Amino acid sequence: MRVSVLGAGSWGTTVAALVCKRHETLVWSRDPGVAEEINLRHRNQVYLPGFALPPALTATDDLVVAAATAQVLIMGVPSHAFRGVLERACDHVPPWIPVVSLAKGLEDETALRMTQIVEQVLPGHPAAALTGPNLAKEILAGKAAATVIATGDETVATLLQEILQRGLLRVYTNGDVIGCELGGALKNVVAIAAGMAEGLGVGDNTRAAVITRGLAELAQLGQAMGGQAATFAGLTGLGDLVATCLSPYSRNRHVGEQLGRGRKLDDVLAEMITTAEGVRTTPVAVRLGDRHGLELPICRTIHRVLTGEITARDAYAGLRHSPAGTESGPW
C-alpha cells in the first residue's frame, strides 16, 4: 500500500515512521526544511529531537503529490488545521480511499469531530480515527503500547489494523467512532486540570480525584452525544486519560502545570512549539455542555482559568464552596 501522512509534527512523523516499515510511506510537511531534513538526515529535530527516523520514510512539501499518490490518507495535523489542509488536498485524493484522523480535538466553530469533517469534505471515503494512550516519543522509542482504530466499516478497520500494527504497538478496532473520538478530545481538558493539580503541588489524592471525576464528566458528555458507556472505560477513554494526565511528555498536562505554578496562559503557549489541543477544546466542551444541559464542572472551571477569569489556585480553593452530591451526579 502507498500511505501518505499529512502533517510532519510529533505524531504524524511517528505514525509515518511505523507504517513505512512495511508500506511505502510519504509524509507531507508545509515546511520544505522539515521535508528535506527527513529525506536527507532521517531526522525531525524540531518535533522529535534526538530520534533517528527510518531511511525508508520519505517526505515532501508538495501537498498535491502526497494526496494524489495515496492509497490510504492519514491526517496528522492538529484539529484547527484539519479542514483547511483536507480542503486543499481533496481535489487530488483518489476516489474511495480511507482517510484516518490522528487529531484529538473538535472543530472550534462547529464542534464537529474530525471524521465528521472527512465526511463533509470527502463524502464517500471511509473515515477512521486512530486514538488511544499513545505518547509519540514512547511509541517511537519502541515501547509497548495499545491503540484503537475507530471506524464503522469492519473491512476498512481490518485493513488499517494491519497497516498500523507494528512491533509492540497493539492496534484494536472499535466501531464506536463517536465515543473514541470524544474520549481522545475531551481527555485533554481533564489533563489540563490534572496538570494544574501538579503545579499547585496538591498531591496524588487530588490527581486521582481529578482523573476519576474527569472521566465521569467526559463519559457523561460523550454518552449524551451518542458514544457508548463501555468506550469511555476503554483505551480511548480511561486509558488515554491516565496516560495524558500522568505523563511528563503530555503538552496538555504541561499547560495545566504551568498555570498551576501561577504563569499566564499566553506566556506558556508562546514558548511551546507543539500543540496542546485541550486549550481550544475546552470552550467547545463548555458549549456542548450547554447544548446538552450538562454541568461539566471540571470543563467549566478549566474554561474560567484559561480565560483568566480565575486563577488555578482560585479553582482549587473553590472546591470548598461546591457541596459534593452523589458520586453518580455531576460534582
Ligand X SMILES: NC(=O)C1=CN([C@@H]2O[C@H](COP(=O)(O)OP(=O)(O)OC[C@H]3O[C@@H](n4cnc5c(N)ncnc54)[C@H](OP(=O)(O)O)[C@@H]3O)[C@@H](O)[C@H]2O)C=CC1
Give residues in contact with ligand X (CB under 6 A). Answer: 7-12, 29-31, 47, 76-79, 81, 84-85, 102-105, 134-136, 274-275, 277
Judged by beta carbon distances under 5 to 8 A according to partner kind, the member of ligand X, ligand 13P, none in contact with residue 191 is ligand 13P
CB of 51 to ligand X, least distance (A): 12
**Pick 158 or 274: Cβ nearer ligand 13P:** 274
Q: Which is nearer to ligand X, 54 or 262 (CB)?
A: 54
Question: Minimum distance between the CB of residue 9 and ligand X, rounded to whole angstroms?
Answer: 2
Nearest-angstrom CA–CA distance, 312 and 300: 13
Smaller CB separation from ligand 13P, 276 or 294: 276
Q: Which is nearer to ligand X, 138 or 153 (CB)?
A: 138
CA distance 16 to 24: 10
Choose the contact partner of 325 out of ligand X, ligand 13P, none; CB within 5 to 8 A by kind. none
> How many other C-beta atoms can be found within 10 angstroms of the C-beta atom of residue 117?
23
Among ligand X, ligand 13P, none, residue 243 binds (CB under 5-8 Å by kind): ligand 13P
Binding region for ligand 13P (CB under 6 A): 104, 133-135, 188, 191, 240, 243-244, 250-253, 277
Assigned C-alpha cell, 98: 480511507
Q: Tell me the binding residues for NADPH.
A: 10-11, 30, 47, 104, 136, 251, 277
Nearest to 288 by CA among 225, 197, 199, 215: 225
**What's the start-to-end Cα distance of the chain, in Å?**
49
Q: Which does 83 bind (CB under 5 to 8 A by kind): ligand 13P, ligand X, none?
A: none
Q: Which long-range contacts (CB under 8 A, 24 or more apart) does 320-324 make?
A: 322/297
Binding-site residue ranges for sn-glycerol 3-phosphate: 104, 132, 187, 240, 250-252
Please say if 21 is a catalytic residue: no
- For residue 31, give Cα distances in angstroms to 48, 51, 101, 269: 15, 19, 21, 21
Q: Among all chains, which residue has been given the C-alpha cell 461539566?
A: 296
Q: Minimum distance from CB of 246 to ligand 13P (Å)?
A: 11
The whole-angstrom separation of Cα 145 and Cα 108 is 30
| Chain centre to alpha carbon of residue 103 | 5
| Nearest distance in Å: CB 10, ligand X | 4
* Residue of 21, 137, 143, 187 marked active site: 187
Integer angstrom CA distances of residue 88 from 92, 102, 196, 213: 9, 18, 38, 40
Q: Which residues are catalytic?
A: 187
